Amino acid sequence: ILSFPYENGLSYGITSFMEGTAHTITAIFVAIFATADFSHGTMKNVVSKGFSKVYIFLSKLIVLIVANYIIVFVTFIAGTICAWIVTGEFGSLSGDFGKYILGTTGIELYLYIALIALMLMVSMSIRNLGGAIAINVLGILSFESTLFALFEFMVDNKIKFSEFSLMYNTSFYRMMGASSSDYIRSLIVGAVFLVASVLLGIYIFKKSDVK
DSSP 18: T
What's the whole-number average pLDDT of the chain? 91
Q: What is the pLDDT of residue 106?
A: 94
Inform me whether the pLDDT recorded for 88 exceeds 80. yes
What global pTM score does this model have? 0.91
Q: For the beta carbon of residue 203, count every other beta carbon within 10 angstroms.
A: 15
List pLDDT tens digits, range 44-87.
998 988 899 999 999 999 999 999 999 899 999 999 999 999 88
Please give the Cα distance from 152 to 205 (Å, whole number). 32
- Place 181 in a pLDDT band, splitting at 50, 70 and 90: very high
Q: What is the pLDDT of residue 127?
A: 93
Inform me whether the pLDDT recorded for 167 exceeds 60. yes
Q: What is the pLDDT of residue 2?
A: 55
Inform me whether the pLDDT recorded for 200 exceeds 90. yes
- Place 91 in a pLDDT band, splitting at 50, 70 and 90: confident
Provide the b/e sequence for 32-69 (b: ≥16 CB within 10 Å): eebbebbeeeebeeebeeeeebeebbbebbeebbeebe
pLDDT: is 176 or 114 the higher one? 114
Q: What is the pLDDT of residue 14?
A: 87
Read off the pLDDT of each residue in 147-173 and give the average, rounded to a whole number: 92
- What are the strands, taking DSSP E only, across the chain? none
Inform me whether the pLDDT recorded for 3 exceeds 70. no
8 A C-beta contact, residue 44 and residue 211 = yes
Inform me whether the pLDDT recorded for 1 exceeds 50. no
Helices 53-87 & 95-126 angle (0-180, nearest 10): 140
Q: What is the pLDDT of residue 11?
A: 86
Please give the Cα distance from 119 to 29 (Å, whole number). 10
Please give the Cα distance from 142 to 40 (Å, whole number). 29
Amino acid 182 reads D
| 3-class state of residue 140 by DSSP | helix
Q: What is the pLDDT of residue 17?
A: 83
